[in-house]
Amino acid sequence: MHPVIAKTFGGLSARYYVRQFLFGLIFPAFIFFVLTNSKQAHAPGLGTYAFFAVSTLLYPYSRFVYENIVGYVMGSNVFFVNALLMLSVKFATMLVCWVFAIFVAPFGLLYLYIHHSRNSNA
């Protein structure tokens, strides 16, 4: 594997990537279900499938960026809130990370590249 690819796309642990990838599959599956089962059902176009694929593949890196930013801002604080509120907010942030993965993920990939480059040189 090329070193740049290994340091970026291979930068997340397989366990983390697979977990986030599976969560990312929720959105294209739901959207596809709605598009094909509505009264005016139609098959999504090629562009829609491409967007689904890119967003789903990049979602773990987008989520990585989000979780690192939230972790930095919140620190090790713990909040006790209503479970329904927490799950709603979590779902909303997952959706935002999935929709904007093509814009957010490059920051995560850049960070992973720099991080793994520094560790290999040390």
Work out the average pLDDT over 89-100.
Answer: 96
Torsion sign across C-alpha atoms 14, 15, 19, 20: negative
**Confidence (pLDDT) at 36:** 82
Nearest to 105 by CA among 61, 47, 46: 61
**For 21-41, what is each residue's pLDDT tens digit?**
999 999 999 988 888 887 776
Mean pLDDT score across all residues of the chain: 89
For the record, the structure tokens of 16 come out as 């983390």
Q: Regarding predicted confidence, which is higher, 35 or 47?
A: 47
Q: Identify the band that residue 7 occupies on the pLDDT scale cut at 50, 70 and 90.
A: low
Least Cα distance to 17 among 109, 87, 102 occurs for 109
Per-residue pLDDT, 119: 75
Identify which has the larger pLDDT, 36 or 74: 74
Determine the Cα–Cα distance for residues 94 and 26; give it in Å rounded to an integer: 10
Which one-letter amino acid corresponds to residue 98? Answer: W
pLDDT-based confidence at 107, cuts 50/70/90? very high
Residues in the chain: 122
